[in-house]
Amino acid sequence: MQSDHQTALNDAQKPNPDHFVPRADYDTVKGKLDTALNTINEHKTSQVETVVDAAIKDGKIAPSSKDFYVAACSTEDGLESFKKMISGTQKIVSDKSETDEKSEDSSVALNSEQQSIFSQMGLDPSDKDVQAELKSQA
């Protein structure tokens, strides 16, 4: 008698959902919900990537911090907070680094003896292949 009473109490505390919800309908609704949530998450992820990539392209954040900002934007209010932050931020990353500009614009200066040797050999000291060789030896 005690075990029947205990069984009845256990059944009352954990009712079988199959007795209250049609399983086929539940599975259909659950499948649709999962699909909708996945679509929303994919859209949000692509939107986050687009916004962060645009901020990198505009020079407002460093490319090395992309993963951090993608993770920060993935939170509930993160994307809106990021957009507000970026709208008030000045450009912090230039398109070219100063060393790139110097290496492209600078050429190796030749002394008169080197210029004489180049002219005797018929080489143009301003040729970019010659400049690259001179830079590698400097």
- Average pLDDT score, the chain: 81
Q: 75, 58 in Cβ contact below 8 A?
A: no
Q: Tens digits of per-residue pLDDT, 50-64?
A: 999 999 998 888 899
Tokens 């301003």 belong to 126
Q: Return the pLDDT at 104.
A: 54
Q: What is the dihedral of CA 33, 47, 83, 96, to 10 degrees?
A: 160
Q: Tens digits of per-residue pLDDT, 116-137?
A: 888 888 888 778 887 887 777 7
Alpha-carbon distance of 39 to 47, in angstroms, equals 12
**pTM across the whole model:** 0.50
Q: Which amino acid is at 8?
A: A
CA-to-CA dists, residue 34 to 16, 31, 37, 38, 47, angstroms? 23, 5, 5, 6, 20
Q: 63, 95 in Cβ contact below 8 A?
A: no
Task: Break the chain into its structural domains and give their ranges.
Answer: 2-87, 98-137
